[in-house]
Structure 1
Amino acid sequence: MNPDIEFPRAERLDAEAKARAVSEQTGIRLTVEGPCAGGQVGAAYVRWPDGRRAVLKWRPNYTVAELEAGPLAVTERLRELGYPAPAMELATQVGGAVVTVQELLPGRKIDNLDLHLLERVLAVHSRQADALAGRDDVPSFHLYLRDDGPGYCLHEPLRRFSARTAELERRISRLADAHPTRLPGYGAVHSDLHPGNILAADGEVTGVVDWDGSARGDHRFDLVVLRFGVHPKGSERGVVERLDGLLDALPEAILQPAWAHMSLRMTDWAIRHFPPEEVDDWVDLAEQRLEQ
């Protein structure tokens, strides 16, 4: 457990309740240590009875069958290719939710993505290309350019917040007429590839975590996600320039729907979860590449 992380009592009780549910369902007793840092929201460090450390996660309104068809199929294939994704050590249905216990990978989340680490991230990311070739059984990534996503990519907050966000939503919705509902391709799409979900040690990437939203599609979608992931807190100037150069080379058929999706996702999230003054930062970024 990281001693620098405070584990609020409510979160501990919640994690312990989930660990008890696992014990009741499987007979395996897990010991809760503390919360995971970074992007793994709602995740906790636990120990198996033999002392091995792992990561406990809980996904509501979900089934083991959905997990196996989507994220688990994606990560198992990537692991076959040598990709540093965590192994799934346990998955069980608890009521309407799925609880998982995943391998704890080495390293720490990236707090400052510099150019050296960016190149290492890009090298790892390249292994996602065509990783799911022939796997039509794996669901493709839903862009939600016209309809709402499940708790994110909501259109109504943009329509209501301001004239500027309402116009952004109209532009995004118009793009839905020109692009497929789902992202084409046979790459592995993480869908939330930002520095908080990337682990590193000694200047090398040691893991990519939080694959809950992963699916099949064009793996270059994650380059757009990563570009949004270094904004607005920023990073080295060279990191932004390197990513922008990569996006400049993307076909519009990939860049536009991916950029529209992330513009919707982050602006909606900012409206509902960030201070109001931060919303314009995301609209500024969205307008950089979104077609008129």
Structure 2
Amino acid sequence: MRPSLDEIASALGRPEILSAVIIDTGQNNLVFDTGDLIIRIPRYDGACLDLERETKVLAALAGRLPLPIPSVNVITLVSGTVAMHRKLPGTPLLDLAGMDDTRRQQLADTLAGFLRVLHTLPLDTLGEPDAAVDPQAEWHELLADVDEKVLPLLPIDIAAAIRGRFEQFLVGDGHPRARAIIHGDFGAGNILVEDGQVSGVIDFAGCAIGDPAYDLASLSAGLGDDLLALMRPSLPGIDAMQDRIRFYRSTFPLLDVLFGLKHDDDGVLKAGLEALRRG
């Protein structure tokens, strides 16, 4: 059971919510736009907890970052949890079409500046313990899930290649990996632009302590490696992260398959499997 727009409008005394337009049917939430307010309704129980945590994360980051971020309020209704925030200006940056070289460089510099600040915040900023005593633990767990649930669905050669990439990543290069506060889903759809300028960053549900290369993997997956090349002068260290960036990108379809299996989402499942077969 999920809250309806009728219930939300009645609870808040805001009849204009009834005219909200759905703008996203993502994996975790249904997202509605009222014109000045963004409403997110969790699609499953775990997403409710994610929204509550994200609210605390955004409060901890408020005033610390060089670009606008949402200020989210979570309310609990009889039928479930709802998150709301004032709509930030702009629309999601989905590609770089129509941008000349100057505009692309400006975009790269702005995004690099945002990540540089985020990735250098003190690790205790979020008010959460860095529970990852073994930073590799989550990747061992992911590999176990992939072994059990994903690889049996794939041709033997593709499954072997995926496992090989995991094993190489887990062995590492003998050097400890950087630990930083990361956005966790720094993809094209979560970067807003207005009049050619970055106007905000949204969706901090995945914000946590992790490898900065993960944010760059998300960014390049949506907007391409050429953008990362433009960021090099403003964000030193990208070249040293290239192997990790490629590995993290290779895991995104695996996560889609696991999500599709867990939540019986056939569309996400098929898309993930097709991406893995394409390589």
Q: TM-score, normalised by structure 1?
A: 0.66
Give 1:92's match in structure 2, choosing from 75, 84, 98.
Answer: 75
- Answering whether residue 247 of structure 2 is matched by residue 260 of structure 1, we say yes
| C-alpha RMSD of matched pairs (Å) | 3.9
Change beyond 3 A, Cα 1:217–1:145: closer
Cα contact 2:183–2:215 (8 A) shared by 1: yes
Q: TM-score, normalised by structure 2?
A: 0.68
Letter in 1 for 2:71: A
**Who is 2:55 aligned against?**
72
Letter in 2 for 1:249: A
Cα contact 1:193–1:229 (8 A) shared by 2: no
Query: What are the residue-to-residue correspondences of 1:263-274 with 2, within 5 Å?
Result: 263-269=250-256, 272-274=269-271
Structure 2 Cα separation of the partners of residues 223 and 98 of structure 1: 31
For residue 40 of structure 2, give the secondary structure of its aligned residue in structure 1: strand
**Who is 2:121 aligned against?**
131
**Who is 1:146 aligned against?**
140
**Who is 1:193 aligned against?**
186
For residue 43 of structure 1, give the secondary structure of its aligned residue in structure 2: strand
Change beyond 3 A, Cα 1:96–1:37: closer
Structure 2 Cα separation of the partners of residues 132 and 57 of structure 1: 29
Alignment length (residue pairs): 244
Structure 1: tracts of 5 or more residues without a match: 1-13, 48-52, 284-292
For residue 206 of structure 1, give the secondary structure of its aligned residue in structure 2: strand
Letter in 2 for 1:223: L
Compare 135-144 and 29-38 and name the one that shifted more: 135-144
Letter in 2 for 1:279: L
Deviation of the 1:274 alpha carbon: 2.0
Structure 1 Cα separation of the partners of residues 248 and 209 of structure 2: 16
Change beyond 3 A, Cα 1:55–1:136: closer
Deviation of the 1:91 alpha carbon: 0.3
% identical aligned pairs: 18
Change beyond 3 A, Cα 1:174–1:274: same
**Who is 1:5 aligned against?**
none
Cα contact 1:135–1:186 (8 A) shared by 2: no
**Who is 1:42 aligned against?**
30
Change beyond 3 A, Cα 1:103–1:269: same
Deviation of the 1:276 alpha carbon: 6.0
Structure 1 Cα separation of the partners of residues 229 and 91 of structure 2: 25
Structure 2 Cα separation of the partners of residues 19 and 96 of structure 1: 11
Could you say which structure has the higher helix fraction? Answer: 2
**Who is 2:6 aligned against?**
20
For residue 38 of structure 2, give the secondary structure of its aligned residue in structure 1: strand
Structure 2: tracts of 5 or more residues without a match: 258-267
Cα contact 1:191–1:213 (8 A) shared by 2: yes
Letter in 2 for 1:62: G
| CA deviations over 1:5-59 (Å, ceiling 9, x no partner) | xxxxxxxxx99x53334356x5444334212269796211126xxxxx1111122
Structure 2 Cα separation of the partners of residues 35 and 248 of structure 1: 40
Structure 2 Cα separation of the partners of residues 65 and 277 of structure 1: 30
- Answering whether residue 103 of structure 2 is matched by residue 118 of structure 1, we say no
